[in-house]
Structure 1
Amino acid sequence: MFPLLPRLTARLNQLCQGVSRPIGHCLAHDSLNSNAAAACTQQRFLRGNTVISVRRLIYWAAALAWCAAWAAAPAAAAPPAIDPAALPALVDRLTWGFTPAEFERARKLGTQGYIDAQLSAPATPQLPRAIQGYIDRLTISQQSASAAFAKISEYRQLLRDMPDGPEKTAMRRRMQAIASTRAADTARRTTWRALYSSNQLHEQMTWFWMNHFNMYAPKGHVGVALADYEDRAVRPHALGRFHDLLAATVRSPSMLLYLDNHYNRAGRINENYARELMELHTLGVDGGYSQKDVQELARILTGLGVNYRSTPPKVPAELRSQVVQEGNFLFNPRFHDYGDKLFLQRKIAGTGLAEVDEAIDILARHPATARHISRKLAQFFVADRPPDDLVAAMAKTFQSSDGDIAATLRTLFASQPFIASLDAGKFKDPMHYVYSSLRLAYAEFPPVARVDTANQWLNRLGQPLYRRITPDGYPLTQSEWSGSGQLTSRFDWARRVIVAPGRFYQAAGQKPPVQLPPVPSLPEIYKRTQRYEALSPATRQAIESARTIQDANTYLLASPEFMRR
């Protein structure tokens, strides 16, 4: 194992052979001070008529000991490799659903090459031209969030001066429709991107963070800037640095509206956002913070809010230089608490918006945040109860890389628990189930034109997009999605996908724009892509005894195996 070891051993034996006595009486001793030890190395031994220095013997003995230790030490364990037979399962895990084309892409790249490609994919989704055309025609693509907020501001002014009556009611509905239309458009765009973007892991991570930093779109005017929130705060940082992601969400108008921080003012603090920022977004419920920390963070966040108009707010002359307006995000120094704070045992001087940046630095780099985020990522990709040693390894990477999300995922994907989980599977929430059904069944069809049908089914299955009322986001565990009613509805969905594809290609009350062929045999696709043998004997028997291809396809989509990814 170490070619110099035999030679060093022989040389040391040769030097020591026949050594009789030291010249003088200075032998190495534990109690020697540094000067005495240095003098001792100058002593000489006699080997026959040859004088040998102690220093020379020490040198060769040390070299021998070092080489022996090197030879005896076990080689660093290589990270476990993913079996090529698990490639279909890997594709299923990293995407919104397995397709033959995605499997072929992964097969050409190899398991590690495929993981690398997904982790390094650009944030901008790569979409079919038809899908991009659908998205470009949405209101959120035609009108900016700032223009929408300005329109709402106009309505507010008109409503303020308008007497009660039908006209006022109608105008209030038009104002409310601005937010609801934009939220519905954001949901449509999310589904199109999930179904057709080639950057599938980035799409999953964008949704993961949208769910982690959750908000309820129907609340007030949250939905107005929901698409902007994804585009500016979440998507660019979904595989980047957690610090940057966190900082971007803190300046999001939608987040500030949802968690009531626009009401948070000096002398009249609102703790909602401060509490969720620590409990859900960073440290976790067991993150070691106190109620006093919540109050101090709320004081730090005072003055962060939303400006519906482009004109700056009216503030005293001495505060004008501290006004910060970025889009519709507003830091209004008139409402900020400029007193000093003690947050997580760190003193923060009352300087204004810089306090927020300092608090973000503390939270993003806190060890509890590393553990909380790592555990949640492992829960999403590995198991409902991920092993503690995996979470610890991920947290170590998270901290050493300054919160690099892609690096943390690399540690996860190279772990034995992740590789083992590819065989066991991870239970699909409704989004994964609905999207994976469409991606497989319609893989050879034109791009789905009407995603409202899918989004309506997500509502029926209990996971409507951007409509989780509480800030904790939708749960990631099987127990929340595996009840009997849920599974019955999933069978109904599977049947609808197979027998009525036209519903996904037509506007309400219209015929499909193209004549669609029947959905091809999904079991045959499974056979061609090395997935069929992974089905249980009971599932294969049900498929093989089906009377029609439609029945066989339905049984596959409703099977226990397809419920897992």
Structure 2
Amino acid sequence: MLLRERYPAGKFKDGKDYPAVDELKPLSLLNASISTLFQYTGKDELMPPPERSRPRKEVQAAALLNAIQSKSYWEEEWVGFWRDHFSVYGYEQNVGAFLPHWENEVIRKNAFGNFRQFLEASATHPCMLYYLNNKSSRAGSANENYARELFELHTLGRDAYLNNLYAQWREVPGALQGKPKGYIDQDVYEAARAFTGWTVEDGTGIGGGQSLPKTGQFIYLESWHDNYQKRILATEFEPYSGPMKDGKKVLDLCASHPATAHHLMRKLIKRMINDEPSEKMIQSAQAVFIDHRNSPNQLSILSKHVAKLASTIPEQGRQKVRKPMRLAAAFINAVNLPFDISEGKIMGQVESAGPALYGWVSPEGPPDGLQWNLSAAYLRQRMNLIQGLSENWWGTGEWNPFSDLPPGPTYSQLLSRWEKPLFGRPRPELSEALTCSQGLTGFERVSDIKVARKMVGYLACSPSFQTEAIEPDFSAGERA
């Protein structure tokens, strides 16, 4: 698969020139190592600045192709949930450079694995270390960004933040028994100390005339770690416990806390089933999550359980808004469009029709839910996305709206032909409403292929094409 790279000539910071580029390049970075991707951070200006966004662009293009080619929407949405849960901002240069490795080795590799291992994989990856500033955290200057988001977003959740009720750890219900109900700021501050010394090999000076290598790999620096005793979630941490032991112990405590299971399951069921998950479903999934917390395939077991929950609810009771990539994929597949992504122009429209993949600035990730995703800010762009695909505005390919139709079909015949591919069943009321809105009776003949494509695009702009029930898949995550 090829993707165009185009930018004008320019200059590096040192005044040296780099040439203009306009060529189709293969998606060659999708399986690149961290050390290969490190050069895209811009360190030492090893490549022209416009080239440095290439890793992010390739990941975004590959995600759209996956959405089109995937046999399981459930699997892709499950992966998408974890991508948004461990949200990083890929338009920040140091983060975006490593996105291909993050997408493959953190998100996709762990989405059906074990949550505790998932936590550690995210915590030790340069994307997260750069994004939440733990890269520079050291004894005497601990950065609390990662620790706070670990508690508030990745594990226990905001509902478990009890600092407005309790000022001291002893006051938190259950703390004296070693089972605090939630967390307070003291826990965050102490956890930040536990993660000091978790950093990236990026050439930083470490004293004594020495510098870290320039590989982009994770490294633990004992000399940067705060080795003194700590108390986190009512648990005593012994001083000088050993390399990375403090941070790993925090991850253990957070992953196994009951509030984490409840927080995650509420988010997950809302994403996979419907916008208003029942407490019964949440508790059911929570029990499975906890019972299998030591299983290497904990999240695969959970996926099957959530799929079982979803299968008990009629489709009309679990409608979810299609994300922009899914929306594009649904139309492309419905009309058998020979999709060509090589010019890349469609990606800008995909990004404007909803939060861009890895494009949410703050760490809580993009919001979920019908009202937000179908807000006025996005709805028009979503309709333009469908219409542009239908009419080939971005060079993505042309398709035949007259397939399986007699010569010179009527508008009614044309629209009726595409109702089932688009909506899964005949929707004559939509076709009738569309023909009326265009001042037509439906019996007029249509022979202009451009007009036909435009009309089918209009049909796909119907509100009911914006949502769908995610079909449960009990084998998700098991494919090679």
The alignment's TM-score, normalised by the length of structure 1, stands at: 0.63
Do the aligned residues in 2 keep the contact of 1:139 with 1:182 (CA within 8 Å)? no
Contact kept, 8 Å, 1:266 with 1:299, in 2: the verdict is yes
Partner residue, 1:555: 458
Matches within 5 A, 1:353-368: 353-368=244-259
SS across alignment from 1:402: coil
More helix by share: 1
Which blocks of at least 5 consecutive residues in structure 2 are unaligned?
A: 6-23, 161-181, 404-413, 436-440, 447-451, 469-480
What are the within-5 Å matches in structure 2 for residues 14-33 of structure 1? none
1:407 paired residue among 286, 289, 301 = 301
Letter in structure 1 aligned against 2:352: R
Q: Aligned pair in 2 of structure 1 residues 205, 433: CA closer, same or farther (>3 Å)?
A: same
Distance change >3 Å, CA 234–CA 484, structure 1 → 2? closer
What is the total number of aligned residue pairs between the two structures? 398
AA aligned to 2:350 is L
In the alignment, which residue of structure 2 is the partner of 1:250?
A: 123
Task: Answer whether contact 2:139 2:196 (CA < 8 A) is retained.
Answer: yes
Q: 1:249 to 1:542 in 2, by over 3 A?
A: same
Of 419-428 and 332-341, the range deviating more from structure 2: 419-428
Match of 1:137 among 26, 32, 39: 26
Deviation for aligned residue 1:145: 3.0
1:223 and 2:117 matched: no
Letter in 1 for 2:373: W
- Counterpart code for 1:558: C
Identify if the C-alpha distance between structure 1 residues 504 and 252 changes in structure 2 by more than 3 Å, giving closer, same or farther: same
Q: Name the amino acid aligned to 1:428.
A: R
CA distance in 2, matches of 1:190, 1:453: 15
Cα distance change of structure 1 residues 143 and 249 upon mapping to structure 2, 3 Å threshold: closer
Partner of 2:373: 481
Equivalent of residue 233 in structure 2, options 318, 321, 344: 344
Letter in structure 2 aligned against 1:559: S
Q: For residues 132 and 120 of structure 2, what CA distance do their matches in structure 1 show?
A: 16
User: Is residue 425–residue 564 contact of structure 1 (8 Å, CA) maintained in 2?
Assistant: yes
Distance 1:416 1:460, change over 3 A: closer
Change (3 A) 1:555 1:410: same
Alpha-carbon distance in structure 1 between the residues aligned to 2:91 and 2:63: 17
Distance 1:175 1:305 in 2: 26
Match of 2:185 among 267, 271, 291: 291
What is the 5 A alignment of 1:162-561? 174=47, 176-198=49-71, 200-287=73-160, 288-308=182-202, 328-350=217-239, 351=241, 352-402=243-293, 404-415=298-309, 419-423=313-317, 425-441=319-335, 443=336, 445-450=337-342, 452-500=344-392, 503-505=395-397, 517-518=400-401, 520=403, 523-524=416-417, 526-527=419-420, 531-533=424-426, 535=427, 538-542=429-433, 548=446, 549-561=452-464
Given residue 182 of structure 1, which amino acid in structure 2 is its aligned partner?
A: P
Residues 113 and 299 of structure 2 are in contact (CA less than 8 Å); yes or no, is this contact kept in structure 1? yes
1:297 CA displacement: 1.0
SS at match of 1:504: coil
SS in 2 for 1:448: coil
- Is the 8 Å Cα contact of residues 2 and 27 (structure 2) preserved in structure 1? no
CA contact (8 A) 2:350 2:356 kept: yes
Structure with higher strand content = 2
CA contact 1:455–1:464 (8 Å) conserved in 2: no
Structure 1 or 2, whichever has the larger Rg, is: 1
Q: Report deviation, 1:483.
A: 2.4
Give, in angstroms, the shift of residue 210 of structure 1.
Answer: 1.4
- 1:180 Cα offset (Å): 1.7
Q: Do 2:2 and 2:342's aligned partners in 1 also have CA atoms closer than 8 Å?
A: no
Check conservation: 2:79, 2:108, Cα contact below 8 A.
yes
Contact (CA 8 Å) 1:240, 1:405: kept in 2 or not? yes
* 1:141-175 deviations in Å (ceiling 9; x for gaps): 485331342575761xxxxxxxxxxxxxxx59x56
Shift of 1:176: 4.2
Instruction: Output the CA distance in 2 between the equivalents of 1:501 and 1:517.
Output: 16
Verify the 8 A CA contact 1:261 1:272 in the aligned structure 2.
Answer: yes
Deviations 1:79-113 (A, max 9, x none): xxxxxxxxxxxxxxxxxxxxxxxxxxxxxxxxxxx
Letter in 2 for 1:366: H
Distance 1:498 1:270 in 2: 49
With structure 2 as the length reference, what TM-score do the two structures score?
A: 0.74
Deviations 1:378-427 (A, max 9, x none): 11112222111111111111101117222222222222686234555222
Q: Which residue of 1 aligns with 2:166?
A: none
Percent of aligned pairs sharing the same letter: 25
Quick one: which amino acid aligns to residue 289 of structure 2?
F
Give the 3-state SS of the residue equivalent to 1:561 in structure 2.
helix
Contact 1:303 1:334 in 2 (8 A): yes
SS at match of 1:338: coil
Q: Given that residues 332 and 339 in structure 2 are in contact (C-alpha distance below 8 angstroms), is that contact kept between their aligned partners in structure 1?
A: no
Q: Is the 8 A contact 2:156 2:254 kept in 1?
A: yes
1:214-265 per-position Cα deviation (integer Å, ceiling 9, x unaligned): 1111224111111111111111111122112111101110110000111211
Q: Does structure 2 retain, via aligned residues, the 8 Å contact 1:339–1:349?
A: yes
Kept in 2: contact 1:303–1:332 (CA 8 A)? yes
Distance 2:71 2:129 in 1: 32
Change (3 A) 1:559 1:249: same
Task: For 1:152 and 1:424, locate their aligned partners in 2 and report how far apart those are by CA, in whole Å.
Answer: 42
After superposition, the C-alpha distances for 1:333-390 in whole angstroms (9 at most, x for unaligned) are: 1111101211111122242302222211111121111111111111111222211111
Q: Is the 8 Å Cα contact of residues 280 and 472 (structure 1) preserved in structure 2? A: yes
1:182–1:226 contact (8 Å) kept in structure 2: yes
Q: CA RMSD in A?
A: 3.3
Mapped contact 1:430–1:481 kept (Cα < 8 A): no
Letter of the 1:342 counterpart? R
Question: 1:196: Cα distance to partner?
Answer: 1.3
Q: Secondary structure at the match of 1:342?
A: strand
Q: Secondary structure at the match of 2:102?
A: helix
For CA contacts below 8 A with separation 6 or more, give which structure has more relative contact order: 2
* CA deviation after TM superposition for structure 1 residue 203, in Å: 2.6
Q: CA deviation at 1:453?
A: 3.1
Letter in 1 for 2:231: L
Give me the whole-angstrom Cα distance separating, in 2, the residues matched to 1:414 and 1:240: 19
How far the C-alpha of 1:528 sits from its partner, in A, is 7.1
* Cα deviation, residue 315, structure 1: 7.5
Residue 543 of structure 1, CA deviation: 5.3
Q: Distance in 1 between matches of 2:317 and 2:400?
A: 34
Supply the distance in 2 between the matched residues of 1:281 and 1:353 (Cα, whole angstroms).
Answer: 19
- Specify whether residues 556 and 306 from structure 1 end up closer, same or farther in structure 2 by C-alpha distance, changes over 3 A only: same
Which segment is superposed worse, 458-467 or 223-232?
A: 458-467
